[in-house]
Amino acid sequence: MMQPLLTRLRSQRPDGDIHVLAPAWGAPLLARMAEVAAVIENPFAHGVFDWAGRRALARRVASDGFSAAYVLPNSWKSALIPFLAGIPRRIGYHGEARYVLLNERHRLDESALPRLVDRYAALAGPLEGNTPPPRLSSTPEQQRAARGALGLPETAAPVVFCPGAEYGPAKRWPARHFAALAQKVGAGGTAVWLIGSARDREVGDEIARLADGAALNLCGRTSLEQAIDLIAGARLVVSNDSGLMHVAAALDRPLLALYGSSSPGYTPPLSPRAKVVSLNLDCSPCFKRECPLGHLRCLENLTPEQVLAAIPR
């Protein structure tokens, strides 16, 4: 979501280095962005203040002599380190009353910028034309290495399913639907791989069991780098609205993005090769972790046949 901002900053300052302060888990993703020169690890878990730790990190950041900091989260704590580091320009949205911490505060007009990606990109100045799409790199050598490390065969390009969604059940297409789709897609001999984090291993096992051998569960078996490279080699990706959906879009893979409780108007897959599949019920999007009406019809009633019909021919 933030890479288009980096693209705009790079075009404005081609001689500058862009460093990104981010959690350690995001470093492999940032390494695949051409604009990023280095990653500074943010060790603070959500909700943790740790004044001494933040002051120490700010001293380290100050030693690098940055001229500007773009603060994307709206929290007060996220703006503290650039302030303590004495970075001259500290840019971000007004957020949680960050009057002193940020000295270039933007007021967000949500109606003018409905998409999160545009809100981030606009921090680099008024948008003119379309926001540049995110792009991640993956070479054929990296893709072969990922398959080899996981003992996967050098077969034709697989179809990849991403059945997880960290936010909650209201963003997850049912396991039995994924399994039925795997059987239909795999009927002609196409390999179907399930990719996700360790938290998705259980639902991956359920899909593989229900698919009766038509899907291989790789959830929890890959590193983030390997997941990127496996997705990069896919002929098609079918995904819930999740981080891996955005990875697939940034890798320019043909993509079916399944939406239930969330909004493709706010966080759409940013690729012309992506197709949003949604029932667009009156109760959607509700943005809830679990269905507040108790029926989850936005995803339960989205049938495997409907998703199969949306696959590009």
Domain count, the chain: 2
Structural domain boundaries enclosing 233: 140-310
Query: How far is it, in rounded angstroms, from Cα 171 to Cα 257?
Result: 11
Helix, strand or coil for residue 190? coil
pLDDT, one tens digit per residue, over 32-90 is 999 999 999 999 988 889 999 999 999 999 999 999 999 999 999 999 999 999 999 99
In percent, how much of the chain has pLDDT > 90? 84
Q: Could you tell me if 146 and 119 lie in one domain?
A: no
Asked if residue 38 is part of any domain, the answer here is: yes
pLDDT, one tens digit per residue, over 252-288 is 999 999 998 889 999 999 999 999 999 999 999 988 8
Q: Could you tell me if 107 and 173 lie in one domain?
A: no
Quote the pTM value. Answer: 0.92
- Taking phi over 0 as left and psi of -120 to 50 as alpha, with beta for the rest, 214 belongs to alpha
pLDDT at site 43: 95
Distance in angstroms between the alpha carbons of the first and the last residue of the chain: 29
Q: Could you tell me if 90 and 157 lie in one domain?
A: no
Rg (CA), the chain: 21
Asked if residue 135 is part of any domain, the answer here is: no
Q: Which residues of 99-116 are buried (b: 16+ CB within 10 A; e: fewer)?
A: eebbeebeeeeeeebebe
